[in-house]
Amino acid sequence: MELKRVVVTGMGALTPIGSDVPSFWEGLRSGRNGAGPITRFDAAKFKTRIACELKNFDPDAYLDPKESKKMDPFTQYGLVAADEAIRDSGLRLDHLDKDRAGVIWGSGIGGLQTFQDEVRRYALGDGRPRFSPFFVPKMIADICAGYLSIRYGFTGPNFVTVSACASATNALLDACNYIRLGKVDVVLSGGSEAPITEAGFGGFSSMKALSVRNDDPLRASRPFDRERDGFVMGEGAGALVLEELGHARQRGARIHAEVLGGGMSADAYHITAPHPEGIGAGKVMLHALADARIAPESVGYINAHGTSTPLGDTSEALAIGRVFGVHAYRLNISSTKSMTGHLLGAAGAVEAIACILALQHQIVPPTINFTTPDDGIDPGLDFTFNLAQSRSLEVAMSNTFGFGGHNVSIIFRRRLE
């Protein structure tokens, strides 16, 4: 069976460094940092008091206020990014076979704010179970996908992937495969996350996963630097319209990039820690290259998972060196989490967009905040430290790895061949 080809025809982004795709790209290109003191709640007693929050986000500026009150922030974020992606795609919804259009979304946590608020209200109440009728519909991780299908009338496949920080890339790859197999023509895919809550910070902080560089938030996320001490939590959403190539051509769509393929693997090692030698990370990149039917030498840029955690960055660098061999020294690698923070289940969608923009503009976004080499990371690898670099690029890879040992890589090509 010959597989269909998949292209990206729409993109939308809501991030701590830009509230749409153009401003997101300008933030990436210029090395803008989205970190600062937490304003969402009083973090004075928390070990970590910094995050990459969305700036001046008002859901009522985008959504009907009556409807947005029924949504957790992660759903609000998803709808805003998706609207931009649909507009960018130029899809005429009245001319679309909506039975062949689906929504495959990703979120690692779902409605954490809603869950926290409802449980707190019950715990502080008089003991009677007075829960909002919107509690469950606001909280469940699949609800953003449900809202999106309702909003656009897409009656094809509709589900959410939950694989921690790999969730959105998992969703993109699932969407790609549904199109490749000829089951649908169009899939709205991506991910959203709203984890900046007391519960979110309390949980991640107790694991010692978060940076405690509270006095210097702009320099806290420092992937691949010896002084890194954990990730900076972010929030937001990324959305992509994936489309079968023939369908896109027939309607005269603008094509941003082609999805060549991707891979998945499991570390099968530990519930939170990656394998120290990057075994699963290496396997997933090899699977992605094989699925895309390209040689390692074809890849010019890797958007690394690069969370700024001591073990995670080292193991990913080892895996890249092992998979790409001599070519690893000719690659550009960067972690855009140094600017956006870690958007958890939404990270893969936002970073996929970063890859596509890098291909379009022929510029590799930087890994900012680097000052001190790590003796455990090969100094010959080019992590595009501190400044964006112009480079001729045709193919880019995005890596995302999640708690539980979930690994997903996806590969994009700039031009059709």
Residues with a known catalytic role = 165, 305, 342
Phi, psi of 367 (to 5 degrees): -100, 105
Q: Are 184 and 364 contacting, i.e. CB atoms less than 8 angstroms apart?
A: no
**In the numeric block, which tokens belong to residue 129?**
């179970």
The answer to whether 396 touches 364, Cβ cutoff 8 Å, is no
CB-neighbour burial class of residue 326 (10 A; exposed 0-12, middle 13-18, buried 19+) = exposed
Count of beta carbons in the 10 Å neighbourhood of residue 128: 7
What DSSP character marks residue 54? Answer: P
| Three-class SS state of 277 | coil
330 phi and psi, to 5 degrees?
Answer: -105, -10
Nearest to 253, CA basis, from 9, 416, 83, 21: 9
Q: Where are the beta strands (DSSP E) in 114-197?
A: 158-161, 186-193
Tokens 């899939």 -> residue: 187
Q: Is the CB of residue 364 less than 8 Å from the CB of residue 356?
A: no
What length does the chain have? 417
Asked whether 51 and 194 are in contact (CB, 8 A), the reply is: no
104 beta partners: 159, 189
Q: Specify the 3-state DSSP secondary structure of 249.
A: helix
Q: Which amino acid is at 68?
A: S
Give the separation between CA 268 and CA 232, rounded to whole angstroms: 26
